[in-house]
């Protein structure tokens, strides 16, 4: 029987698995496959694993319940093993690495931090503060100006936005790094100028959140820092 795998943890974990929904039909019992010192938390795998909201919510519900009671290695959505023997083989083969990771993550949680900037507010600020850009903006307003002037305006605005967002991201990181044990950065996108995950000692969670809130108060108009957590350390497994 194929098994859907949620997480790996130590066999000594309390494993409060009753009443948890499972990926698939939601009713397959969530249980443990136990090795010598480690165990994997699993349920019967559906025939076709699809990314649906109920299944993703079930996946995270199991992981969050486990994390409440002790360190776990949460797997990404969609891991399936052929059968119980396959699970036990991996637990045995990677026991040393899994155990080391569990010890490193014990009593630590993840916080995800995203930086968002209102594009119109950013552009207004740049135009107000740059004489060259302001002149080009006036020259090309309502379709005026030459092609080269419009091209130059676009280039200058793009470069200035990128430079300012890079500086904003660095300022947020500098404020939060002293309160974290480790970090994982994702490449910035059009939506987020910063997308970072921090590994934080559980007892310092409030301190980390306070530092992020204080940093938010110092940011320019139209800039927002969004914090999500504490979470299981998805980004550090």
What is the number of alpha carbons within 13 Å of residue 115 lying toward its C-beta?
27
Q: pLDDT at position 149, please?
A: 75
State the pLDDT at residue 51: 87
More confident residue, 204 or 159: 204
Q: Once rounded to an integer, what is the mean pLDDT over residues 116-127?
A: 78
Q: Please give the sequence-ordered ranges of beta strands (E in DSSP) within the chain, or none if there are none.
A: 3-10, 31-34, 38-44, 72-74, 80-81, 108-117, 182-186, 194-201, 223-231
Per-residue confidence band for 201, with pLDDT thresholds at 50, 70 and 90: very high
**pLDDT tens digit string along 136-190?**
777 777 777 777 777 877 788 788 888 888 998 999 999 999 999 999 999 888 8
pLDDT in the model for residue 109: 92
pLDDT higher at 225 or 126: 225
Instruction: Tell me the per-residue pLDDT of 58-101, one tens digit each, with 9 for 90 and over.
Output: 999 999 999 988 899 999 899 999 999 999 999 999 999 999 99
The pTM assigned to this predicted structure is: 0.78
- Per-residue pLDDT, 237: 82
DSSP 28: S
Q: What is the pLDDT of residue 25?
A: 80
Question: Taking a C-beta distance cutoff of 8 angstroms, is the pair 5, 27 a contact?
Answer: no
Quote the pLDDT of residue 161. Answer: 81
Task: For 22-45, write each residue's pLDDT tens digit.
Answer: 998 878 899 999 998 999 999 999
The predicted pLDDT at position 39 comes to 95
- CB–CB of 61/87 below 8 Å? no
Q: Identify the pLDDT of residue 137.
A: 73
* Contact present, 74 and 233 (Cβ < 8 Å): yes
- CB of 196 within 8 A of CB of 183? yes
Predicted confidence at residue 6, as pLDDT, reads 96
d(CA 150, CA 140): 6
Identify the pLDDT of residue 129.
73
Question: How far are the Cα atoms of 33, 117, 152 from residue 123, in angstroms, in the given order?
Answer: 56, 10, 15
Rg of the chain on CA atoms, in Å = 24
């Amino acid at each position: 029987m194929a098994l859907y795998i949620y997480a790996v943890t130590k066999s000594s974990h309390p494993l409060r698995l009753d009443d948890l929904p499972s990926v698939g039909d939601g009713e397959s019992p969530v249980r443990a496959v136990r090795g010598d010192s480690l165990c994997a938390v699993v349920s019967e795998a559906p025939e076709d694993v699809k990314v649906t909201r109920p299944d993703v919510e079930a996946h995270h519900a199991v992981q969050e319940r486990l994390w409440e009671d002790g360190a776990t290695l949460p797997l990404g959505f969609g891991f399936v093993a052929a059968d119980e023997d396959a699970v036990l083989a991996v637990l045995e083969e990677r026991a040393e690495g899994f155990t080391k990771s569990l010890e490193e993550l014990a009593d630590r949680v993840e916080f995800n931090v995203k930086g968002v900037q209102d594009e119109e507010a950013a552009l207004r600020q740049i135009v107000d503060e740059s004489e060259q850009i302001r002149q080009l903006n006036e020259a090309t307003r309502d379709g005026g100006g030459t092609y080269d002037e419009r091209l130059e305006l676009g280039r200058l605005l793009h470069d200035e936005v990128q430079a300012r967002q890079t500086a904003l991201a660095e300022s947020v990181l500098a404020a939060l790094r002293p309160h974290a044990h480790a970090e994982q950065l994702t490449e910035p996108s059009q939506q987020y100028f910063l997308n970072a995950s921090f590994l934080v000692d559980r007892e310092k969670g409030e301190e980390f959140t306070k530092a992020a809130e204080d940093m938010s108060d110092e940011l320019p108009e139209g800039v927002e820092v969004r914090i999500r957590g504490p979470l299981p350390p998805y980004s550090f497994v």
